[in-house]
Structure 1
Amino acid sequence: MGLVQLDGRAAALIGVIVVVEYVISMIRQWARLRHFKGPAIAGFSQIWLISRVGGGRDITRVGPNDLITSDPDLMKHMLNVRTRYKRSSWYDDMRLDPTKDNVLSQRNDDLHSSTRSKMAAAYSSKEVDNIETTVDENVERLLKLFDTEYIAKGRPFDFGYKAQYFTLDVISALAFGEAFRDLETDSDVNGCISAIEESMPTIIATTVMPWMIKLLQLPIFRSMLPSERDKVGVGKVMAIAKKVAAERFGPNPKHEVESEILMQILAGADTTATAIRATLLYIISNPRVVHAMRAEIDDAKPNLPVVTDAEARAMSYLQALIKEGLRIHPPVVGLMSKEVPRAGETVMGDPHHPTPHLEHRTSRSPLLLRYTAMGRHCLRYIRTNSTSLTEIPPRPDFTRIRRRHYRTSAPDGGIRGL
């Protein structure tokens, strides 16, 4: 009887010790970044970040070890060529194939730089033949689809999906030499769009809980991960990537080839379609912008039915609309956080302890909010003496405007593997 009582007391003592240790560790965790304002629960958990991100300040605490910023000077400091900031565990969850790294998920600086250099020429179009012709052909297919299947028959259509058909056909034609034929069939031939819709919300959610992907990679949970044997979702797209790689490089291609193809399909096509959809939505929602755009088209008298690249680049209002669309609605989502150097960092007078994560936010922040009216900001590029712009200073500060358009985390100005 006495032994049972002793065992019970020992178990209770162990339980108390565990609870006390847990409470102490949570208090220490909260105290490290207590001088930054943010939601109260952010000091103890990242769960709330799945549904929303706190805002209203240049730097805000959004998790036990996470800060988010909208300050462009701090962003440039974090992302410059010789930065000491490292890619955080957020990038681990960008493995679209959970067992293989790609140019976006690779955290080893040397391997990341090596992969980027191998892909630089192709992504900059220097090694891609007939890129403008390929894009033009697919634009014509898109217009033909509208004319024959919808306008002529008086049928409504969802432009959101058509934009994805277009980007998937363009990317597949350029990257693999053969289009997926989504525009031709007016359908999601390979299930890529459904895979994106099913997987991306989960992928982005797991990025704020990096321990989850590590848990899923344990042997006991591995069956829950996507596989090339799947008939739908990411697994089906993985099978497409493997097939394309085998056709190009033989039956045993390097795994990195399959991984990069998968990223091209799932990430590249969706982000490009998002940019097209969002920018077009802002344009057609503003009659003044539509009128100005039509006026520039009438003045430029571009080639029909598809404007050439040179003609489009010469249309200053169109270029302004594109830049403004990317600024208001960046096509890339996620925190893309970086780890503070081990020696720590001092930001706005506040010293940080080593290894908190610092995210950069470029959209809809208070710093940018005054300039989010589509059209008004675009006119600033090309005209400053209009009587309709009396609320805008007659001599805009273009340095500040350029700062507000800082939207890439690639030191060389590209977006390969942010």
Structure 2
Amino acid sequence: MALLSRIAVAAVTLLAVYYIVGSVLSYRRLRLFKGPPLASFSRFWLFWKECRGTLPHAQVAALEKYGSPARIGHDLLVTDDAELIRHINAPGSRWTRSGWYDAMRMDPRQDNVFSTRNEEAHVDLKAKEAGGYNGRDINTLEPDIDSQVGEFIGLIRKHEGKVVDFAPKVRYFVLDVLSTVAFGRPFGFMAADEDKWDYCQTSDDFTLILGLTANHSSVRWLLSQDWVQALAAPKTTDKHGIGPALAFAHKAVSERYGPDAKPRKDMLGHFVNKGLSQVQCECEAFLQIMAGTDSSATILRCAIFSLAGNPRVYAKLRAEIDGVLGQNASVRYPDVLKLEYLKVVIWETIRLFPPLFGLKEKCAPVGGDEFNGVFYPEGSTVAGCDAAIMRRKDVFGDDASFFRPERLLEGDDALRRKRMQTVEVAFGSGKYLCLGKHIAMIELHKTIVAIMRNFDFAMADPMRAVDDVLHNVHQQKNMNLVFTARE
């Protein structure tokens, strides 16, 4: 017993020494960068802000107080410089994905395209999947989205003339779009008009855990243990939560690998044709469900709610839609792309409400790297703060906190290009550009047009703010609107 006690004391002592030495080395490595005092020695500052759902706002405050880049962890810097992010993400850059991405390995069996840290493997997998996401090699993308836009218009009509919380309705719509595009049929959230399987509530709870897991290696280690996975990870046999959605996806995937499988020219068929295994497709399915929903949902919600609160922008956009598209019943995506004001309404929404707040840390290369006179030592990591990047007054003007889409059309070519390149960082850039960007753009353009052509809408209570908690994504509710049919 005494021997065990001595071993335990020795182990704890070694761990303490390891932590102290590591903290001192990390402190010295980034000692020239300023930040919250606690952040110099640990990531507890991050942990506390994440738990409170205020991490993006806290990063903005740190950048304003200490300058950019600011130190927000013993080994972590945060920046509001879009040019630095593009430099880090550029093809050929020696910067690499950090351990943050290990938490994006949703399925313990295998990495997905977002969690893959090996550069060669990531390039190879992304190349295989690209034709399915950008629609180049499939013929079902726009028709699938159109079918669910029609269902969404029908869902809004069910609540016409009544106060409706728009936030969950949009989530149902995006989940059904995602499943139709990715798996060939909708989950059925809009048909049920309810949170099937308690999926949405479970997903909201999951995003907090995901943030803590991604930001802290100790939490990643704990949650990667087999016994924790067995107790807590979603399973296809679950009756509630994320598990039933996984089961839905796995069933769709298994049908493509069964003895009676027939080739189909859709996204899943594209993955099969490019040689992805059944397990790979199942892993990508989990990523699509978790990562492909909240981003599009946030942009669509905030665009419609911002229009409802800005009569001038609302009227200008409606006039453009009516003038360019007229009474045409069928509108294709190339037709919608003629709506220049709609484009900037969407991008201005993305600027003011960047949909994803994950740190997406990248590791400085061996020997470090210098950019714009700042040296980033080997072993340090850098994250971008979209909330700060998108509201820089030196880029977007003194009214950067206002919803004013015209700013993206103003100025000379150089200013317009700089502003658009900055906003586009919300979807990543270079070798880390988001694969789902094209799908999101079709979905957003066509849905906003459909809503504007079919309904008048207004805030139910302009004095009541939307409830918005920030755990890697916007968790929104009480986005109360009233829709009435256009005459």
Deviations 1:152-183 (A, max 9, x none): xx432221111111112222222222122222
The answer on 1:247 being equivalent to 2:255 is yes
> TM-score, length-normalised on structure 1?
0.85
Q: Is the 8 A contact 1:95 1:101 kept in 2?
A: yes
The answer on 1:68 being equivalent to 2:78 is yes
Q: SS state of the match for residue 67, structure 1?
A: strand
Structure 2 vs 1, CA of residues 108 and 15 (structure 1 numbering), >3 Å: closer, same or farther? Answer: closer
Show the counterpart of 1:48.
45
Counterpart Cα distance in 1 of 2:380 and 2:19: 20
Counterpart Cα distance in 2 of 1:394 and 1:111: 41
Counterpart Cα distance in 2 of 1:207 and 1:15: 25
Q: 2:168 aligns with which of 161, 180, 184?
A: 161
Counterpart Cα distance in 2 of 1:200 and 1:349: 36
Counterpart Cα distance in 1 of 2:255 and 2:13: 61
Counterpart Cα distance in 1 of 2:387 and 2:97: 21
Q: Is the 8 A contact 2:306 2:403 kept in 1?
A: no
> TM-score, length-normalised on structure 2?
0.74
Counterpart Cα distance in 2 of 1:333 and 1:40: 23
1:316 Cα offset (Å)? 0.9
The answer on 1:409 being equivalent to 2:407 is no
Q: Is the 8 A contact 1:104 1:416 kept in 2?
A: no
Divergent runs of 4+, >6 A: 11-21, 393-396
Q: Is the 8 A contact 1:104 1:417 kept in 2?
A: no
Q: Is the 8 A contact 1:134 1:170 kept in 2?
A: yes
Q: 2:147 aligns with which of 113, 129, 137?
A: 137
Counterpart Cα distance in 1 of 2:32 and 2:240: 47
Give the % identical residues: 28
The answer on 1:367 being equivalent to 2:386 is no
Deviations 1:326-360 (A, max 9, x none): 22222223011100001112244343331211112
- RMSD of equivalent CA atoms: 3.2
Letter in 1 for 2:282: E
Show the counterpart of 1:176.
183
1:233 Cα offset (Å)? 2.5
Structure 2 vs 1, CA of residues 222 and 351 (structure 1 numbering), >3 Å: closer, same or farther? Answer: same
The answer on 1:342 being equivalent to 2:378 is no
Structure 2 vs 1, CA of residues 361 and 106 (structure 1 numbering), >3 Å: closer, same or farther? Answer: same
Show the counterpart of 1:264.
288
1:396 Cα offset (Å)? 7.6
Structure 2 vs 1, CA of residues 190 and 111 (structure 1 numbering), >3 Å: closer, same or farther? Answer: farther
Letter in 2 for 1:150: H
Counterpart Cα distance in 2 of 1:229 and 1:299: 52
Letter in 2 for 1:177: G
Give unpaired runs (5+ residues) of structure 1: 385-392
Q: SS state of the match for residue 233, structure 1?
A: coil
User: Which of 1 and 2 has greater Rg?
Assistant: 1
Q: Is the 8 A contact 2:361 2:383 kept in 1?
A: yes
User: How many residue pairs align between the two structures?
Assistant: 399
Structure 2 vs 1, CA of residues 397 and 155 (structure 1 numbering), >3 Å: closer, same or farther? Answer: closer
Counterpart Cα distance in 2 of 1:124 and 1:13: 56
Q: Is the 8 A contact 1:140 1:305 kept in 2?
A: no
Letter in 1 for 2:203: I
1:218 Cα offset (Å)? 2.4
Counterpart Cα distance in 2 of 1:321 and 1:58: 29
Letter in 1 for 2:387: S
The answer on 1:35 being equivalent to 2:53 is no
Counterpart Cα distance in 2 of 1:311 and 1:73: 33
Counterpart Cα distance in 1 of 2:386 and 2:240: 34
Q: Which has the higher contact order (CA 8 A, sep 6+)?
A: 2
1:305 Cα offset (Å)? 5.7
Show the counterpart of 2:223.
216
1:301 Cα offset (Å)? 4.0
Structure 2 vs 1, CA of residues 200 and 367 (structure 1 numbering), >3 Å: closer, same or farther? Answer: same
Letter in 2 for 1:345: D
Q: SS state of the match for residue 126, structure 2?
A: helix
